[in-house]
Structure 1
Amino acid sequence: MAKTLQCVICGKIKRVRQIVKHKNLLLNDDAVICTDCANDIGKPEHKDELISLCQLMNIPYVDSMVKEVFDDGKLFTDYLKKIAPSKKYVTFLDSEFEVVNQVDKQNDFQVTDEIEQKWGAGYQQDEYYNFELSLKRLTNIKTPNTQFELMRYIQNVKLQTALDQSLKLGDSNAIQKLRKSYSEDLKDLGLDSVLNAADDGMKTLGQRIKDWENNEPIPEKKSLEDVDNIKEYISKWFVIPMKRVFGLADESEVNELYDDGA
């Protein structure tokens, strides 16, 4: 029987020829991304998602190559083939991004009622802009699963802002308290390994991610249990056939035996 693997994005079981290779040290060889998800997410019109996908796979995002590939009407998997032989671009740390004029982007930013309701009233336009920018960075790393978790992200951004302000003012007492609260909050949100590694204040996000992948243990989450699909394999190819022999398998279980995705 051909080996099958489970896509970490869609959760579907795929054959080896239906997956793309990644360089993420936190994901073992059996935790993969399927070509359908890669091509669906990795689109030039959704640049943030495309960059996040490169982060997840720990492959470089090179703006000039991305434009070249997609201008030819090709797919993300074609981009992977193009960049694979490169010795200059190896991991996400080697990424090259288009220089964007942040001032122009900030001038185009509009404070809507929704934004004001999210952050509260009384802030200046540039403060709301920086709030939204910081929140976007967090959600690019880890998407909040609930509205409550999103509210926690918003609180974390405000904590970071308060900490930055205390650093500018040189308020040592406030700095110590806010740094502790900010670090604990990042840990509760599962973001501390990426954004709050020890003594990494001058490191880029890519460097922090590399440190995280090289040094942090894989978190114990249910989504990572049975990554080899042993339980599913036994259920499908032993338990269900035995139940079928004795007339105990229901229709859904019998249909599972003929599922083309397995």
Structure 2
Amino acid sequence: QSKLLRVLQEGEFERVGGSKTIKVDTRIVAATNRDLEDAVARGQFRADLYFRICVVPIVLPPLRNRKSDIKPLAQLFLDRFNKQNGTNVKFAADAFEQICRCQFPGNVRELENCVNRAAALSDGEVVLGEELACRQGACLSAELFRLQDGSSPIGGLAIGRMITPTVRVPAPPVEPPVAVTPEPVPEPEPLAKDEVQLRTKTAQLSREELVRVMESAGWVQAKAARLLGMTPRQIAYALQKFEIEVRKI
């Protein structure tokens, strides 16, 4: 863009690989299918270059907004096809009506392609409306225009989005279960003789009886043991078993 801007501003340039400056006096006719004002706002096109080439702008509306031009252009392309191929193909009235109802997002080039395809695939010298691709659901451009909001995979292509294919990942092979031999549970060790006597004595003693004896002994464990014919260790075990808190008097 900067090199073109210099040609427009200074009227001079150098050839590729050359060092001599060449003066020129030209008129520039530029065409684009993009919105340059939007490109300038986005920083994609130089504003100073835009103001130098946009001297006499001519906005050409799309073909779908110029319905009256479709039929004469279609006839022009049909005459050109007949001249190039030595044929005498004609369009029926319903074929022209169908073409005039199309949107043609590809504008004049798409119209020319549509006419050439219909003339080449026609079985006779007259192309009927039902023979057109748009009447048979085989017109991709019609789908692109109808679904350009992105509501389908074709619409997604129309607005430039990529379609991510669904990839099926095979499931990993299932290995057969491995038999696991349970480890033997060790048997509990037999209790010692003193432990057996300790549990036997406390099992024969109730909580109420133990509290009554402890109160009589003034909460002295040794004295309570003598009254019950037990050892102090057995009394301590019984107090812990019944969750009795020793009182201090």
TM-score after normalising by structure 2: 0.25
Larger radius of gyration: 2
Instruction: Determine which structure has the larger helix proportion and give its number.
Output: 1
TM-score after normalising by structure 1: 0.24
RCO greater where, 1 or 2, for CA within 8 Å and sep 6 or more?
Answer: 1
